[in-house]
Structure 1
């Protein structure tokens, strides 16, 4: 942190919250590792070939009809790259959860000695978890950002940024996996000589992923602003009024 004091919630969140958040993030990472391992170790080229032959696996690229041999090349590349991406992103997510927990434990130890500490990162992660849990609700990044902004407090100038971070964090691992999917798709299309399709599909998918991530961050920022304003108004209305001076 930058060392500057920012008014936030009434007190630091309990350590149990850090453990819960780290556990949730680690579980998401482990699920990604399991999915990646399944693709890497259980799905092989022969199985894909059999699936394409009997129609279980279909590969369609825009309006281009692929032969079974071409479909196999593309499917094999996509599966290989996606499996590797899920593995790497999952392992990275678990490491982030461990690093987060270590950093928060150090912050709690510093707070016990009277050193100033902040919970900006914790609020962002908490908001991100809320976004994921409420992902079935439209515009859930705004809700997660609102929680983060409320905890950061309206007096702080970081409610918008913490909300944006809360909205973007859930999209970050998805974006990373999509990069691997895109890499596999482009590699497969280049293998069969579909250079034009590779450029068009790759550009479209990349722009779509970036748009989704940007929208999630923007909704989170909007929620963070609203949450901060609500916290500020709530603090103002609950503040005791001073009695007027007689003289």
Structure 2
């Protein structure tokens, strides 16, 4: 009996790239990503259009809200200026980030649909992107439970394990799986960064603005690097586990 595309094995005993994962899996991922984007859009809309600046000012003036930069506590007037600047930037930032996620979800589903259409004609199709997104979704889900510090490694391991059945790109798919979930967070932090800087410069706190800005930029880089690094490590481990399984089968 002839082998199907998913049954063909490469020279090292691993299946060659063939049929992608079922299309409903891609649709499921697309829906999850789009819903996440819509959630951010709702939050951004609340900040951008419904936050009462008057109530914000009252909260600062009566001590309910305290704004401090490092060890420096700002005056009420300075706090109002900085808080207003942050809200003014974070609201649109969440809107743009959420919109980006929705567009990514639509683009992902369209690209994967075309891949499935090619697969139905007998063409070999890679599932690299699907495995990376699966690892990213796993990372996000696990981030809500106690194993969250290593969730990128777990998501990367899953992606690497599955990718090893198609190619040797286990480390790269793991790194992508770990990096993807950090992008919305990094995007939001960048808008917080711009809001803080604009507010601090507006009140003449240029020195603090430079310090805070540097720390936030380093934080954004660290978040992305750690996510990708843990994902890459997980991808390597997942690939090794797949190799062991292949050796015992």
Asked if Structure 1 and Structure 2 have the same fold, meaning a TM-score greater than 0.5 normalized by the shorter chain, the answer is yes
Shift of 1:55: 2.0
Shift of 1:208: 1.5
**In the aligned structure 1, how far is the partner of 2:106 from the partner of 2:24?**
14
**In the aligned structure 1, how far is the partner of 2:192 from the partner of 2:57?**
19
Indicate the SS of the match to 2:30.
helix
Residue in structure 1 matched with residue 68 of structure 2 by the alignment: 60
Deviations 1:161-191 (A, max 9, x none): 0000000000011001100000000000000
Residue in structure 2 matched with residue 245 of structure 1 by the alignment: none
Unaligned runs of 5+ in 1: 239-247
Alignment of 1:40-189 (within 5 A): 40-135=48-143, 136=145, 137=147, 138-153=149-164, 156-189=167-200
CA RMSD after TM alignment: 1.6
Residue in structure 1 matched with residue 6 of structure 2 by the alignment: none
Shift of 1:155: 6.8
**In the aligned structure 2, how far is the partner of 1:235 from the partner of 1:10?**
17
- The number of equivalent residue pairs is 234
Q: 1:62 to 1:115 in 2, by over 3 A?
A: same
Shift of 1:8: 5.8
Name which of 218, 223, 226 aligns with 2:237: 226
Name which of 42, 46, 62 aligns with 1:38: 46
**In the aligned structure 2, how far is the partner of 1:91 from the partner of 1:8?**
36
**In the aligned structure 1, how far is the partner of 2:18 from the partner of 2:151?**
25
Shift of 1:10: 7.5
TM-score of the superposition, structure 1-length normalised?
Answer: 0.91
Indicate the SS of the match to 2:73.
coil
TM-score of the superposition, structure 2-length normalised?
Answer: 0.90
